[in-house]
Chain A
């Protein structure tokens, strides 16, 4: 069973700061997902990556498969980035592939 740990659990920063959120998992995977959840519930997929680095706007995600570790970075953070960021990895369970989620990192960006 894959276990996913995120850090930090809560992060408060000032607008413009560089943000890093970390994710570690216990079992080798083929792909890792970074998700964003705003208050009210809806989840949006930010990245799916299996190696190296991906960039989308001010968001950058990296993964080190050997170390079973991924990071999500936000450059020039903005109050609208305030949300819960969740990493998730695939895991097989009774014949089904399911996602196992980290507990999330609650990010608050103050103006």
Chain B
């Protein structure tokens, strides 16, 4: 158990729809990062939030957006879903940075049809 939870576990959406994925981090973890992991690939960095502000972004279009809340929860929103968005979405939290231990959630598996 890492103390990081994600919801929902699985989700099926249709192309063009919008989706919100949720992550609940451990108390005191000010930094949360979101990753997309396509089947058979390593996770790819989407963005990072630190104290409710976006702190960097990977090569993902603006239709991927996020929020972080004061209660250590966060959201990943994806608009105008495309078939290629089908993947496992992981959040990882830590106290501050990547020299600290990362705590991963179990992931949300999104299927876009």
Interface residues of B (CB under 8 A from A): 2, 33, 35, 37, 41-43, 45, 47-48, 55-58, 88, 90, 92, 97-107, 109
What is the total number of residues of chain A having a CB less than 8 Å from a CB of chain B?
A: 27
- Whether the Cβ atoms of A45 and B48 lie closer than 8 Å is no
A92 to B38: give the CA distance in the assembly, Å: 22
Known A96-B55, A97-B56, A98-B58; contact A90-B98, beta-carbon cutoff 8 A: yes
Instruction: Name which of A35, A97, A99 has the most chain B CB atoms within 10 A of its CB.
Output: A97
Q: For A41, what are the chain B residues with a Cβ–Cβ distance below 8 Å?
A: 37, 88, 90, 106-107, 109
Q: For A101, what are the chain B residues with a Cβ–Cβ distance below 8 Å?
A: 42-43
Task: Kindly provide the distance from the CB of A34 to the nearest chain B CB, expressed in whole angstroms.
Answer: 11
- Whether the Cβ atoms of B104 and A35 lie closer than 8 Å is yes
- Whether the Cβ atoms of B99 and A98 lie closer than 8 Å is no
- Whether the Cβ atoms of A31 and B103 lie closer than 8 Å is no
Contact of A97 among B97, B101, B106 (CB under 8 A): B97
**Interface members, chain A 1-51 (any B CB < 8 Å):** 30-31, 33, 35, 40-45, 48, 50
- Whether the Cβ atoms of A95 and B106 lie closer than 8 Å is no
Contact of A42 among B48, B55, B58, B104 (CB under 8 A): B104
Task: Kindly provide the distance from the CB of B31 to the nearest chain A CB, expressed in whole angstroms.
Answer: 9
